Amino acid sequence: MEPLVIAGRSFNSRLMVGTGKYDSLEVMREALDASGAEIVTVAVRRVNLDAREASLLAYIDLDRYTLLPNTAGCHTAEEAVRTARLARAAGLSNWVKLEVIPDDGTLLPDPIATVEAAEVLVKEGFVVLPYTTDDHVVARRLLEVGCAAVMPYGSAIGTGRGLESVERIARIVDEVRGRVPVVVDAGIGAPSDAALALETGADAVLVNTAIARAGDPVAMARAMRLAVEAGYLARRAGRIPKSGVPSPSSPEAGVVGRS
Amino acid sequence: MEPLVIAGRSFNSRLMVGTGKYDSLEVMREALDASGAEIVTVAVRRVNLDAREASLLAYIDLDRYTLLPNTAGCHTAEEAVRTARLARAAGLSNWVKLEVIPDDGTLLPDPIATVEAAEVLVKEGFVVLPYTTDDHVVARRLLEVGCAAVMPYGSAIGTGRGLESVERIARIVDEVRGRVPVVVDAGIGAPSDAALALETGADAVLVNTAIARAGDPVAMARAMRLAVEAGYLARRAGRIPKSGVPSPSSPEAGVVGRS
Amino acid sequence: MEPLVIAGRSFNSRLMVGTGKYDSLEVMREALDASGAEIVTVAVRRVNLDAREASLLAYIDLDRYTLLPNTAGCHTAEEAVRTARLARAAGLSNWVKLEVIPDDGTLLPDPIATVEAAEVLVKEGFVVLPYTTDDHVVARRLLEVGCAAVMPYGSAIGTGRGLESVERIARIVDEVRGRVPVVVDAGIGAPSDAALALETGADAVLVNTAIARAGDPVAMARAMRLAVEAGYLARRAGRIPKSGVPSPSSPEAGVVGRS
Amino acid sequence: MEPLVIAGRSFNSRLMVGTGKYDSLEVMREALDASGAEIVTVAVRRVNLDAREASLLAYIDLDRYTLLPNTAGCHTAEEAVRTARLARAAGLSNWVKLEVIPDDGTLLPDPIATVEAAEVLVKEGFVVLPYTTDDHVVARRLLEVGCAAVMPYGSAIGTGRGLESVERIARIVDEVRGRVPVVVDAGIGAPSDAALALETGADAVLVNTAIARAGDPVAMARAMRLAVEAGYLARRAGRIPKSGVPSPSSPEAGVVGRS
């Protein structure tokens, strides 16, 4: 695989992972290792900024993984901006996975507030990777305000329903045209979903629940890693078109046994 | 991966491949190699049984690959039975991928004729791997007459449309309950489809067009190989259920930045 | 609407209804009336053949409705044949909706046993309307043995999931080519499903659970009636093709307000 | 059907229709009549405001139909606002179907610009019915700025692909909770789609291409009318839930013929 480049930094893995919902931090650490991920997202609100040693961060090797603080739990643009500043001030990172999610019920992003918050944060020097809907017009706005990636959902967070609309993700890929990475974030439930995201032209996926809540998170992390590689290869290899017209695998020429 | 066992023989790969539709036999040979496949299906009618050296078979290392003759092009049970006998008489194999496909338009199997032909061939000592619909009641019949595997379609041959009905494949898996392998055969268009088949509980997949007609067949063969492994691992790891109710990746406990 | 002709008899309604699952026989009678149906199916096993007055049949005006006895509950061809004979012997009808359903879990038909039973019953002079899968090759067999209609499922009985595969129903319509009616039977959950069946080329639908278990069965019966008429009209009117390429509703010519 | 109330005005029909793409204005007039529609949308740019007699408007009985000018062809909020003002100034209406569609390729609305334009127009006293995406958070914003309805697409304009996501439409219905009508606008291809929109809780649909480009527009208009009524009735009647578990139509009690 070619490296994934975000804001000038290169990564060999195209699978990003989350840190929530694991049964234990030991299992999380093993799953992170098996995933091959280099970017690990962590909710700012979960980090004990004053006593880092005893917290989640003690389980993440910061020499190996790039930490991507996220603003999970923020319902408004203002909250998200404040949370990003707090993370940077505490020395976590100037990268931020921006999440503005008004409803705890649907966990779907607010596209308008996300664009607003992104604009503020970009101006303050943040590297902004926004979690967004699968609307390509919104993706265009996020690009216009200077985001370093676009992270559309496949489906709602934690549902494991894969890509609700392959076409909408494809439209975002067309819209973005490689200027920044497209990362499918949320909804990935199984390796097939991850492969499909890459096949559709996404540059990477972010997976949390599907690994953390799998029966065997470490094995699932490894499966996701393979699937991402498979999808990446397939995209470059060029898949056959879907067709309504069946086509025989074996040409008719030289038929025997049908005299 | 555990070995795949068919009729008492063990295989390390869960990806079977076809030999039709390649631009050249050289490309086919490379793609076979990249796929890791051990079982290679070949249409009996395409084999020049008298002058094997100059034919397709010269490109397939028979020490490495197990040849699975198929009855592609047979429209009736009688034709298929005759073709299988011809292949065995010519020394090809007593294994047969049974295809009874009445219409060249849809390329869908005739479930009733398939059961009839399978019954005849099993009685004659063939190891029968029937290509069939995604109907679990038909799968039951195929088991009852002694087939060594059940090979339901994902979708019609050559369409690349993946699994039309995950539920129907799952029902066949439930029906068969591991007594013989379930191999999804036909319709696989991309690695995500192959992974999904394994995740759904299929024991293997057979892929032809999606590799042979890919932009880069060798790279696609490798992608399929990875996807099959990913799907296999995921099935054993235990995927999260699909849910209508979103669930946050980051628990609410210990929230900072929202005081 | 043109009349629906089955085995030489004409019907003005293209909505057939069932008689099971109603909260009361009074509600059933009202719903039948609202549906406009002329063909009413009734499970032979539910009919008290000796004491008809006190039973279900007392609630069905036999001058108005054509009774279509069905073999619900029969797991094998033999049982179904026996049940049809019993119904005829008791004077119910020589028409039979043939159901051979091996599993009480999935309630899906056995296509092979259905063809076998149909063949026997047609030879005995029955007018056979078989409940079958959405497999067009099976439909072909049912035609070959002389069935008077083909009744594929939309989805499994009682699930209300509509047409699992519009394409498979379309393939049956193409296969049958108007020689006998195609009636989508099972799975209709809402008027949109009924309309879709007719739009796809089915000649009629049979609805039971979706009416009987609706909040207001009488209103739902009326809704189904309207939807069937809508779908019938639309089929003849000729719907627009589905398109991947959007097309503006308003031509560009004569644009004002954009100078 | 209960009347549909928009901005204090009542309508008996829940089917709105467009005026573009007809082969002739005579056919359009007949189709309008057959549809039973009371609200007819017309692109401001297509109206010859100075010579109304010779134009489209001469074919629409303004005593019978409420004209709903739309801003089709406007790529930005500014253009749309200007077009709405122009229509009002010319005496067309102070109602406006607001369309802000940046790309002629996808014909999908710009949710952010739509909210901006809606806010301006509401403040200027317009009755604003915005064409929008199927994003419920955007719908919430449109309500907040005072729109008189929310008009999400089913799928892209002119594609006839129906409701891409029933769940997203349902989410908008939940969001709006009856405060203003939800009108599914764009993508309706057949009566089944129209019925489904109403069944899902939409208050009305707007149909243009599916009628205008049908083989027989007048018959299709009638079919749409019936389907809308069917969907409306079904919503109130209460449909059965979709179920993964099949349920027999005929209870087991009192079985005969299986002794």
Domain extents in chain A: 4-237
What integer best gives the mean pLDDT of chain C?
Answer: 92
Q: What radius of gyration do chain B's Cα atoms show?
A: 20
Question: Between B195, B209, B248, which is nearest A191 by CB?
Answer: B195
One DSSP character per residue, chain D reads: -PPEEETTEEES--EEE--SS-S-HHHHHHHHHHHT-SEEEEEGGGS-SS-GGGSGGGGS-TTT-EEEEE-TT--SHHHHHHHHHHHHHTTS-SEEEE-----TTT----HHHHHHHHHHHHHTT-EEEEEE-S-HHHHHHHHHTT-S-BEE-SSSTT-----S-HHHHHHHHHHHTTSS-BEEES---SHHHHHHHHHTT-SEEEESHHHHTSSSHHHHHHHHHHHHHHHHHHHHH-PPPP-SS---SS-STT--S--
Residue A55 CA: distances (Å) to CA of A45, A49, A60, A232: 12, 9, 10, 35
Q: How, if at all, do strands B15-17 and B204-207 pair?
A: parallel
What pLDDT does residue D49 have? 57
3-class SS string, D101-126: CCCCCCCCCCHHHHHHHHHHHHHCCC
**Helix (H), strand (E) at residue C6:** strand C4-6
Q: What are the beta bridge partners of residue D67?
A: D40
CA distance D152 to chain A (A): 13
Phi and psi torsions of A238, nearest 5°? 90, 100
Q: Which chains touch A (3 or more CB pairs under 8 A)?
A: B, D
Q: From CA B35, how far away is CA A237, in angstroms rounded?
A: 14
Per-residue CA distances from C108 to C131, C158, C167 (Å): 9, 11, 19
A191 contacts: CB under 8 Å, gap ≥ 6: A223, A224, A226, A227, B195, B199, B227, B230, B231, B233, B234
Span A64-68, average pLDDT = 95
Low-confidence ranges of chain D (pLDDT < 70): 48-54, 250-259
Query: For residue A243, what pLDDT is reported?
Result: 87
Give tens-digit pLDDT for A73-121. Answer: 999 999 999 999 999 998 889 999 999 999 988 899 999 999 999 999 9
Q: How far apart are CA C78 and CA B219, in angstroms?
A: 54
B touches which chains (3+ CB pairs under 8 A)? A, C
Contact between A156 and A188 under an 8 Å Cβ cutoff? The reply is no
Query: Are the C-beta atoms of residues A163 and A184 closer than 8 Å to each other?
Result: yes
Give the helix ranges, DSSP H, for chain A: 25-35, 77-89, 111-123, 136-144, 166-176, 191-199, 209-212, 217-237
Tell me the per-residue pLDDT of C28-72, one tens digit each, with 9 for 90 and over: 999 999 999 999 999 998 776 555 445 788 889 999 999 999 999
Distance from CA of D121 to the nearest CA of C (A): 16
> Subunits touching D (CB < 8 Å, at least 3 pairs)?
A, C
Chain D residues with CB under 8 Å of C161 CB are 242-243
CA dist B69 and B46 (Å) reads 10
Count how many Cα atoms sit within 13 Å of the Cα of residue B234 in the half-sphere of its side chain: 36
The CA distance from C108 to A224, in Å, is 35
Which residues, in sequence order, are bridge partners of residue B127? B95
Q: Judge whether A97 counts as a catalytic residue.
A: yes
What are the chain D neighbours of C248 within 8 Å (beta carbons)?
Answer: 20, 72-73, 104, 107, 157-158
CA distance D48 to D45: 8
pLDDT value for C258: 34
Q: Which residues contact B116 (CB under 8 A, 6 or more apart)?
A: B77
H/E stretch holding C221 reads helix C217-237
The reply to whether CATH 3.90.1280.10 applies to domain C4-237 is no
H-state helical runs in B90-239:
111-123, 136-144, 166-176, 191-199, 209-212, 217-237
Tell me: the pLDDT tens digits for A20-40?
A: 999 999 999 999 999 999 999
Q: From CA D197, how far away is CA D203, in angstroms rounded?
A: 8
At A219 the pLDDT is 98
Instruction: Let me know how long chain C is.
Output: 259
What is the band of B56 on the pLDDT scale with cuts at 50, 70, 90?
confident
Quote the tokens at residue C83.
Answer: 């049940």
Strand ranges in C161-243 using DSSP code E only, listed in sequence order: 183-185, 204-207
B78 or B244, higher pLDDT: B78
Please give the backbone phi and psi of residue C191, each rounded to the nearest 5 degrees, phi first: -55, -35
CA distance C241 to D160: 7
* Cβ contacts from A onto D, under 8 A: 43
Q: Which residues contact B237 (CB under 8 A, 6 or more apart)?
A: A214, A215, A216, A217, A219, A220, A223
CA distance C105 to A172: 43
Report the residue of A75, A108, A135 to disrupt the D interface, i.e. the one with the largest count of D CBs within 10 Å: A135
pLDDT: is A251 or D218 the higher one? D218
- SS3 category, A89: helix
Of all helices (H) and strands (E), which one includes residue C88?
helix C77-89
**CA-to-CA distance for A245 and B140, rounded, in angstroms?**
29
- Which residues of C are tagged catalytic? 97
Fill in the amino acid letter for D229: E
The answer on pLDDT for A146 being more than 80 is: yes
> Measured between alpha carbons, how far is D29 from D45 in angstroms, rounded to an integer?
20
Q: Which residues of B touch C (CB under 8 A)?
A: 102-103, 106, 108-112, 115, 133, 135-138, 141, 164-165, 171
Instruction: Answer yes or no: is D158 a known binding residue.
Output: yes
Contact D90, D120 (CB under 8 A): no
Chain C residue with Cα closest to D80 = C257
Determine whether the interchain pair B79/A258 forms a contact, defined as Cβ–Cβ distance below 8 Å: yes
Measured CA to CA, the distance from residue D201 to residue D178 in angstroms comes to 10
Chain length of chain A: 259
- Whether residue B216 and residue A209 make contact (CB cut-off 8 A), yes or no, is no
How far apart CA C201 and CA C181 sit, in angstroms, is 10
Say yes or no for a CB contact (<8 Å) between C111 and B135.
Answer: yes
Say whether C160 counts as a known binding-site residue.
no
Weakest-pLDDT range from B144-158, B193-207, D237-251: D237-251
Other beta carbons within 10 Å of B78: 14
- Looking at the partner chain, which of B109, B112, B137 has a beta carbon nearest the beta carbon of C102? B137
Burial of A9 (0-12, 13-18, 19+ CB in 10 A): middle
Q: Yes or no: say if A48 and A54 are a contact pair by the CB < 8 Å rule.
A: yes
**Beta-carbon separation of D110 and A137 below 8 A:** yes
Stretches in chain C below the pLDDT threshold 70: 48-54, 245, 250-259
Task: Among B192, B241, B250, select the one facing A199 at the smallest CB separation.
Answer: B192
Mean pLDDT calculated for residue range B109-135: 98
Number of cross-chain residue pairs from C and D with Cβ atoms under 8 Å apart: 299
- The complex's ipTM? 0.91
Alpha-carbon distance A119 to A117, whole Å?
A: 5
**What's the pLDDT score for residue A252?**
52
Is pLDDT of B52 > 50? no
Average pLDDT value over all residues in chain A: 92
Enumerate the residues of chain D whose CB falls inside 8 A of the CB of residue A111.
111-112, 135, 137-138
Task: Please indicate whether residue B105 or residue A170 has the higher confidence score (pLDDT).
Answer: A170
How many CB atoms lie under 10 A from the CB of residue D72? 28
Edge-to-edge strand ranges of the sheet holding D39-43 = D151-152, D127-132, D95-98, D66-70, D39-43, D15-17, D204-207, D183-185
What is the distance between the alpha carbons of residues B75 and B57, in angstroms, rounded to a whole number? 24
What is the pLDDT averaged over residues A219-248? 93
